[in-house]
Every structure is written in structure tokens, then in C-alpha cells.
Amino acid sequence: MVAFSAQGHLNPMLRLGKRLISHGLHVTIATTHLQPGRRLFKPSSSSSATGHDIDFLFYSDGLDGRKVDIDTFMDSLSQHGPTNLTKLIHQNYHTAPSDANNSTGTRKTRRRRRLCCIVSNPFVPWAANVAHDLGIPCAMLWIQPVALYAVYYRYYRNLNPFPTLTDPDLTVNLPGLPPLRTEDLPSFVLPTNTFGAFSKLFSEMFGAMEKHASWVLANSFHALEADVIINSSKDLFPVVPVGPLVDPSLLGKGEEEEADGAVNLWEVDHSCMEWLDEQAAGSVVYVSFGSLATLSADQSASLERALKEGRWPFVWVVKGTEAGELSTSSGGGQGIVVAWAPQTKVLAHRAVGCFVTHGGWNSTLEAVAAGVPMVVYPQWSDQPTNAKLVEDVFGVGVRVRENGDVKMVVGSEEMGRAIREVMDGPKSEQIKGNARRLKIAAGEAVAAGGEGTSKVSVRKFVDEIVGR
Ligand code: UDP
């Protein structure tokens, strides 16, 4: 598996890796070390360092530890990644089926194994070209909802009209999805998009995928996105849901965070778990904006005031880098502030009644699998579309608005209203009911020993790559 070294990319890769191992495959994740200044992720190439039965191999991004901006990083990665990954593969594996006779099955002899498939990740699209050049089949793991796959695919392949500078408010109608207004679209498809590196990346990704990928696997499940999955299978490159990759049966059960298959790039602060034990069922608001998004001082202040005024006990993840530091660094007795939470354990705790989230797809799916309703306060990228799904397709939460309009900074009253709507407002029973129903469906899709849709798809995928 070739992973982009970011928290939201590694978690689904590791979780899929765990599933593949349960089907008898051996899994290695190849990635680059994080950029300097980021913390912690330095597992050795032995699996024992991570608590997973997955090996790690590292290749160079060509920067030799230099700290650069994201555009330069992406350029360097796509320039040096293919050569360095190819070298790494040659050093560690056989790539031709005829070499398989020399393979043996023990961990110690990993160097003699035959590589049967490369699973790439959207941010390393060139991995599909490497697989092709080596004559190895390739799959891509799509780490966002199928809805986003359909949106991006149709946008980058010009299959449907999208907003332009001359028609910026065009509503986008796509098969299997509710009408999407500008505020519901991912930032990268808007005419105002300024992230050139990502647009280039998505174009390359669909090109490499159509040319060289044999499968696109998605971290979603049929019951969650049935309409868009069915409609996409008619006229897009087929996508196979294999999620939720977070294992609903393990949620909250592990001694350590690795139980759910995740790895943490930051030190996990478990102090909130004991505190949660003392809180009433369904009373706590959990606040986290994922690994990348940082709230502005105004956004933080508004949210803090809303929590105080609403008197909800809270667990709030405030990363060290956050601009608007929470004024009550201790949470002031009403809540607890941590720099990085054991998120899936928190979500699975009976005390948590609401998740205020940026709507990153891992977080969203973890909440779905745990049956926790959401207040979504999207910041950029796919998050606005995920918010739309949460509110209007899954029916398991609301998006933060001010007088009905989407705003980057909303007042504390509006923020409080959104939380109340999920906790105990008129719609809350319906929202909680939907969350319970989807939690069950998530479990059924992947249950061990079951015949759930995602479980069957992973088995078929494994049978195909092993049979080749
Ligand atoms: N996460 C965590 N502890 C935290 C905050 C986040 O373990 O305090 C994990 C979370 O469970 C999820 C990932 O970090 O798996 C964040 O991924 P997501 O796609 O939600 O957001 P991103 O970080 O990519 O914006």
C-alpha cells in the first residue's frame, strides 16, 4: 500500500491493511517520513513498533528533510516518488509471477515475497504508473465518500456543468445526489479555487486510475450511499465500497488506540476517558476539527461561548498549533481540553451525545459507525459536501449556519442552536434514530463471519489479486 503521510490518509490505509491481513495477505505500507516540524510518526520498518501486523517501508520525497510549502512538497513527491518507490520495491520484492516459486511465507523472508498488488492512494496517483511499469495490478483506495468520487470524477471529466466565474451560483444536479449548491461543493471544484496543486493532482489521479487501476475501493458502505453508488456504477469507472474501514465491533474496546487500526501522528492524551466515565449518558459534546483544520480566534471564541452558555460538558481537541487558543486551557471544570484525543474511543463512550466536527471523512464515518449525531462546521476541501450528506442524505446531524446562511464565522447563539438541535431539539429524536439505524447498518456491512456488502467485496478483491 502506498500512502500519503497524513493522518487522514494513513488511518484508512492501515484499517484496510488490517482487513487484508485477516484474509491471509501480507501487507506493507510504503510512505515518506513526515515533513520536519510534524511530530511522532517514525515507526521502524518492523510491525511491532506500531502494534500492527503491518510492515512499514520508507522512500524519499526528494527533500532531504527540508521544510517546504505544500505545493513544493507535492511537486517533489511526484518528481522523486516514482523512482524511489520503484527502487524500494526492487530491493524488497519479486514482481514477476515466475519468481513466486522462490517465495516463502514467513515474515523474515519478506524480501523474497512476490508483490501481488499495489494499493495506491489519491494523493500519490503516480503509484498506479509504477505498478503498471512493474506489471503489477493496482487498486486505488478512495478515502472520501462515493459522493465525492462522483463529484470530482464528473467535474474533472467534464461530464456535468459546474459553477464558473460567469455563473458562480449554478446548482449542480448529479445522479444519486441531492441538488448541490455552491456552499455544498468541495472547495477544489469552485471557480474561486486557489489550490492549484490539488487540481493538478485530481486530474492526474483520474488519468492514472482510468489507464492503470483495476479496482477503486471506497471507504463507505452500500446502505450509507446506496443512490450515488448505484448511479455511479452506471457511467463512471466502477467504485467498490469496502467500508466502514474503522471496525465498528472494535470501537472503544481497545486498550490502546491501535485497537481500531489507527496510528497517531500526535501523542494521544487519554485523560479524557476517566472524566467521561463520570458524565451522564449522552450529555457530552465532543469537539474536534481533525488533524489539519485550525479554527480562527473568532471561530474558537464563538464555539467556546456557545458551550459555556449551553452548559454542556465537553471534550475539546485543541491542537498545539491552533490560532485561537481556548481561553480556559483546562476547560474550566465544565469540560476537558486535550491536544489529541483517542477519537474512536471517545465517540464510542456512552457519555458522548454530539460530535462538533469539521466533517473530515474519517471523523464522519467514525461517528456514523459509533452512532453519534453530528454538528458539522466544515472548513474546506470535501468537508462542505460531507456536511450536506450528514444533514440531507444520512439525516444524522446538522450543518452550522447563521440565519440560514453558510458563514465561516458564526455567532455563539447560532452555534448553540445547532448543538441544541442535535442534543434535545425538536428534530433530535429523528436524528438520533437515524444515527442508531446507520450504526447497525455499518456493523452489518463489515461484520466478521457475516455476508455484509463490504465484507463480501473485500473477499472478492482478495480472491482476484491472489488468483492473478
Ligand atoms: N483523530 C484522532 N484524535 C483527535 C483528532 C482526530 O485520533 O484528537 C483522528 C480521527 O479519528 C480521524 C483522523 O484523526 O481518523 C482525522 O481524519 P479526518 O478525515 O476526519 O480529518 P483530517 O485530519 O484528514 O482533516
Distance (Å) from CA 93 to ligand 1 centroid: 32
pTM: 0.92
Q: Is the pLDDT of residue 252 over 80?
A: no
Higher pLDDT, 186 or 107: 186
Our mutation pick for probing the ligand 1 site, out of 363, 364, 368, 386, counting the most ligand atoms within 8 A of Cβ, is 363
pLDDT tens profile 133-176 = 999 999 999 999 999 999 999 999 999 999 999 999 999 999 99
- Cα separation, 148 vs 383, whole angstroms: 10
Strand, coil or helix: 335: strand
How far apart, in Å, are the Cα atoms of 197 and each of 114, 127, 271?
34, 17, 39
Our mutation pick for probing the ligand 1 site, out of 40, 337, 362, counting the most ligand atoms within 8 A of Cβ, is 362
Atom number, ligand 1, closest to the C-alpha of residue 364: 20
pLDDT tens profile 342-352 = 999 999 999 99
Distance (Å) from CA 348 to ligand 1 centroid: 15
Instruction: Write down the ipTM of this complex.
Output: 0.99
Q: For position 112, what pLDDT does the model report?
A: 65
Strand, coil or helix: 288: strand
Closest residue CA from atom 24 of ligand 1: 8
- Cα separation, 399 vs 356, whole angstroms: 10
pLDDT tens profile 101-115 = 444 444 444 456 889
- Cα separation, 405 vs 413, whole angstroms: 14
Strand, coil or helix: 120: strand
Lowest mean pLDDT among 83-97, 354-368, 404-418: 83-97
Quick one: 44 exposed, middle or buried, by C-beta within 10 A (0-12, 13-18, 19+)?
exposed
- Cα separation, 417 vs 305, whole angstroms: 12
Our mutation pick for probing the ligand 1 site, out of 265, 273, 291, counting the most ligand atoms within 8 A of Cβ, is 291
Length of the chain: 468
